[in-house]
Amino acid sequence: MPELPEVETARRGLAPHLTGKTITDVVIRNASLRWPIPKNLPGLLRGLIIRSLKRRAKYLLVDCGDGTLILHLGMSGSLRILPANTPADKHDHFDLSLSDGTLMRLRDPRRFGAVLWHSGDVHTHPLLASLGPEPLEKDFDANYLHRSTRGRIISIKQCIMDNHVVVGVGNIYANEALFRAGIRPRLAAGRVSLPRCSRLAAEIRSTLTEAIAQGGSTLRDFVNSTGQPGYFQQNYWVYGRGGDPCKRCGAPIKQFKQGQRSSFYCQKCQK
């Protein structure tokens, strides 16, 4: 599944190909994504100029002035820039044709992605309005994390994976950031002290920043904007290493299920 670093990598790769271009046509081959692609999209988009490509959580936001095209890659989506006459594959559900003879194509075999339109301020869209802060922005810091976890008995791992607390911290990065911060995934969120919140917020930021710098990581079929597989197999401290020796102390990495997701930690390095 594309995580925040993959989406940010896609944004950075696609932005120069989209910004300033006029949308000349829209092709919807299969509207049945997570939500139906609006039927009136071609009429709305034809002739609009793309002002910028932004990101909020894992949503890509194509700012068209009057409104915003909201894209989500779901479980298996990828976006590529291709020459206009490129034949479509059966999983190529949506094209945005551009004035320079290229198109942006959404491929999404599992169809959990989304293509939606919002006129006016996109941050008031129901999918975006109640999201927590971006992990790489200034408003996500030690004080914020400490304040938003007080009194909470759910685990710190589930808390940092909750989009209302902070967006875009998926399972891989939650596991890795908790190891790097020396915090056990099952610890109640409300028991994490301010200094430890400070450490955790910093490790979340650096884990994500490093992954973005490496071009995003994934275990599946993310394809980046140049058509190359976008996965960069990172050297994880704990993620996917159940039973293997801890790279810091040598103790075996523990693995367990937590809210349907696999958690990994070192009993010695994490308290």
Binding site for Zn ion (CB under 5 A): 246, 248-249, 251, 266, 268-269
From residue 267, alpha-carbon distances to 32, 40, 187, 191 in Å are 45, 55, 12, 18
- Look up 199 and say whether it is catalytic: no
- Look up 3 and say whether it is catalytic: yes
End-to-end CA distance of the chain: 29
Q: Across-strand partners of 80?
A: 105
| Given the residues 3, 6, 8, 176, the one annotated as active site | 3
Residue nearest to Zn ion (CB): 246
Say which residues have a Cβ less than 8 Å from residue 90's Cβ, sequence separation at least 6: none
Residue 135: CB minimum distance to Zn ion, A: 25
Residue with Cβ nearer Zn ion (181 or 266): 266
| Given the residues 11, 58, 105, 157, the one annotated as active site | 58
Residue with Cβ nearer Zn ion (80 or 196): 196
- Look up 271 and say whether it is catalytic: no
Angle at 160 (CA atoms; ends 154, 162), nearest 5 degrees: 80
DSSP H helical ranges for 68-193: 142-149, 156-160, 171-181
Residue 242: CB minimum distance to Zn ion, A: 13
At position 2, the amino acid (one-letter code) is P
- Look up 147 and say whether it is catalytic: no
Residue 239 CA to residue 21 CA, distance in Å, equals 41
Residue 265 CA to residue 178 CA, distance in Å, equals 8
Neighbours of 129 (CB within 10 A): 10
| Given the residues 2, 5, 135, 185, the one annotated as active site | 2
Residue with Cβ nearer Zn ion (140 or 237): 237
Residue 256: CB minimum distance to Zn ion, A: 16
Residue with Cβ nearer Zn ion (222 or 264): 264
Residue with Cβ nearer Zn ion (49 or 251): 251
Say which residues have a Cβ less than 8 Å from residue 45's Cβ, sequence separation at least 6: 23, 26, 64, 69, 96, 117
Residue 184: CB minimum distance to Zn ion, A: 12
Residue 205 CA to residue 135 CA, distance in Å, equals 6
Residue 253: CB minimum distance to Zn ion, A: 8
Residue pair 115/106 in contact by the 8 Å Cβ criterion: yes
Catalytic residue list: 2-3, 58, 261
